[in-house]
Every structure is written in C-alpha cells, then in structure tokens.
Amino acid sequence: MSHSSVDHHRLRLVVRYTLLSLIALMFIFPLVFMLVSSLKPDHQLLADTASLRAFLPVGDISLSNYDKAFERAPIFLFMFNSLLVTAVTVVLSLLLCSMAGFSFVYLNWRGKQLAFSIILATLIVPFETIAIPMLLMVSKLPWLGLEGLTWGWLNTYRVQIVPFIADGLTIFLFTQYFKDLPRELIEAARVEGSSWWQVYWRIVMPLSGPVIATAAILKFLVMYNQYLWPIMVTQQEQYRPVLVGLQYFFQLNTAWGEVMAYLTLITMPVLAFYLVLQRAFIASIASTGVKG
C-alpha cells in the first residue's frame, strides 16, 4: 500500500510538472523567437517564421546583428538613461506612496475621504490624455539646482522622473496591503510611545516586503517602458531612453535581426531586476508568519 501511494505521489508530481511546463511553453515562445531571431540574418529570420525553425538557433547563426545594432545607436547610453530614471523614480515612489498609503489607512485627518477619492479618480486618467497640458506645464516650471534658479524642465532627467513619482495605483496598492496588517501591533507601539514615523519605518515597512516588491516591479515596468513622454520632452539624444532608441531601428527597410537584438538587450535588465526581486520576495514570505 505504501508502495502504491509513493507511485501515486510520483504520478501527481509528473502531472504537475507537465502542466507547469506546458503553460511555461505558452508564455515563453515569443521570447524564444525574439532571442533566436536576433542571431539570424534577416532573410533567414523572415523565411524561418513559416516553420518551427523560428524557435531554433539553426542555420547561419552569429552575433553580427548585435555588432550592427551597437553601430546604429548608442545603446549603452539609452540603457543608462532608462535605468537611472527608473531607479530614482522607483525608490522615491516607494517612499512617498507608502507614506501616503500609511496615512490613509492608519491616520485620521480632515479631508482624508476627499483626498482618497481624488487619488482613486486619477486611476481613470490615462497618461496619453493629459500629456499635452503636462508638456505645456513642465516647459515653464522652475527648478532650483546647482546653476541657480532656472525655468523649464525640458531635456533633463527630472522631467522624466518627478511627474511619475506619485501615482494612484501605487498608493492604492499600499493601502490594500496595509489594511490586512494586524492593527494590534501598531496600537501596541503607539501605546509604548512610538512616533508615527517610527511606527511606519520600524513596524509597517519591514512587514511589507511583498507589496514593496509588487509596487517596485510595477513602477519599474512603467518607467522603463516610457515612450510618448520622452519623445515630447527630450530633444537631445543625451537624455533619450530605450524605447525612443527603438525608433532608431525602424528605417525604411527595417533590419529585423537588429531589431530583435536590440529588443533582447533592452529586455535583459528588466528580467534581471525581477529575478533579483523575486528572491527578496521569497525571503519576505518566510517573515510573514507574524500576520493573521
């Protein structure tokens, strides 16, 4: 009997892994296509889309598309710009949005209802629809920097960062998560005389690993994939991000191999970011035993 239960267990494992793998196949095939295509010369790449060869690194395989892509555009510059803008925005966003979320869930203040309603309402405003008024505005905003007071934010990093630090979704994400945290911990800390900042920084944030990871990933994706806004506000190559760089590859006769190489290159940092966060994410699961 114990023998058959071991068999049964094994069978279930096989079924599970098969299911997991089949689903995995569904999610990964376009990306395999992208990676494999980046190694092929254009004529072969296009001919191969008609068969399973599209997913196999066969035929005339080389890295020459990558060489040519680097010649066509300053790829490292674009990646540096995107990563810089993204990193600064993510860090500031996590801080300010979690603070706001904390305030909405744990603190009582006049105007809170209204403020929260406004934040929820902003979720309905797609960025595309306010881009022009925003452009008119940022082109006249003041800034106090090393050079003293200047007017107009065009062609800077800050114009790509500051408008996107706070958003309704991230704040909402934090409020939904904070609501599930045990209130007793906070009330106990307050009774012991902790300030609200201490409660936020020492108790609530350390418990918020999963939501921080989720919010960070979301923000990272949004920022790394910025496109419309940088086109409007960066007239100098020096500040352009990766998706504007993608435009360099769509010429009259598009070199698809180079496009695929570029896509592969710009996808790597995001994937790496997720894999790193996933580990943090898993680690934080272990610490959630306190909740309930």
Residues 131-170 that bind another protein (CB under 8 A): 132-139, 145-147, 152, 154-157, 162-169
Q: Is there binding between residue 75 and another protein (CB under 8 A)? A: no
Stretch that binds another protein, among 2-10, 59-67, 176-184 (CB under 8 A): 176-184
Nearest to 108 by CA among 190, 17, 173, 48: 190
Query: Is 225 strand, coil or helix?
Result: coil
In the complex, least distance from residue 18 CB atom to another protein, rounded to whole angstroms: 12
- ∠ at Cα 150 (145, 153), nearest 5°? 90
Nearer to another protein, 202 or 291 (CB): 291
Contact call for residue 193 and another protein (CB under 8 A): no
Query: Please, which residue, 13 or 61, has the CB nearer to another protein?
Result: 13
Please select the residue that binds another protein; options are 14, 125, 188, 280, rule is CB under 8 A: 125
Q: Does 289 bind another protein (CB under 8 A)?
A: yes
Judged by beta carbon, residue 62 or residue 251, the one nearer another protein is 251
To another protein, the closest distance from the beta carbon of 79 in angstroms equals 13
CB of 171 to another protein, least distance (A): 6
Angle 223-225-229 from CA coordinates, rounded to 5°: 75
Return d(Cα 209, Cα 86) in angstroms, integer: 20
102 token code pair: 């904390």
Report, in Å, the least distance between residue 1 CB and another protein. Answer: 20
Q: Give the Cα separation of 229 and 243 in Å (integer).
A: 11
| Chain centroid to CA 121 | 22
Among 64, 122, 194, 198, binds another protein (CB under 8 A): 122
Q: Which residues from 6-65 bind another protein, rule CB under 8 A? A: 13, 16-17, 19-21, 23-24, 26-28, 30-31, 33-34, 43, 46, 49-51, 54
Cα–Cα distance measured from residue 278 to residue 176, given in angstroms and rounded to the nearest whole number: 21
Give the binding-site size for another protein (rule: CB under 8 A). Answer: 137
The H or E element spanning position 200 is: none
Q: Which runs of consecutive H residues, i.e. helices, occur in 180-208?
A: 183-191, 196-198
Structure token digits, residue 252: 């009259």
How far is CA 91 from its chain centroid? Answer: 12
- Greatest Cα pair distance, the chain, in angstroms, is 82
Cβ-based nearer residue to another protein, 64 or 214? 214
> Which of 72, 185, 189, 194 lies at the binding interface for another protein (CB under 8 A)?
72
DSSP 3-state of 2: helix
Site string for another protein, 243-272 (x = CB under 8 A): xx-xxxxxxxxx-x--x---x--xx--xx-
Helices 256-286 and 75-106 sit at what angle, rounded to 10 degrees? 30
Q: Judged by CB under 8 A, which of 97, 223, 261, 265 binds another protein?
A: 97
Of residues 215-244, which lie at the interface with another protein (CB under 8 A)? 217-218, 221, 224-225, 227, 231-233, 235-238, 243-244
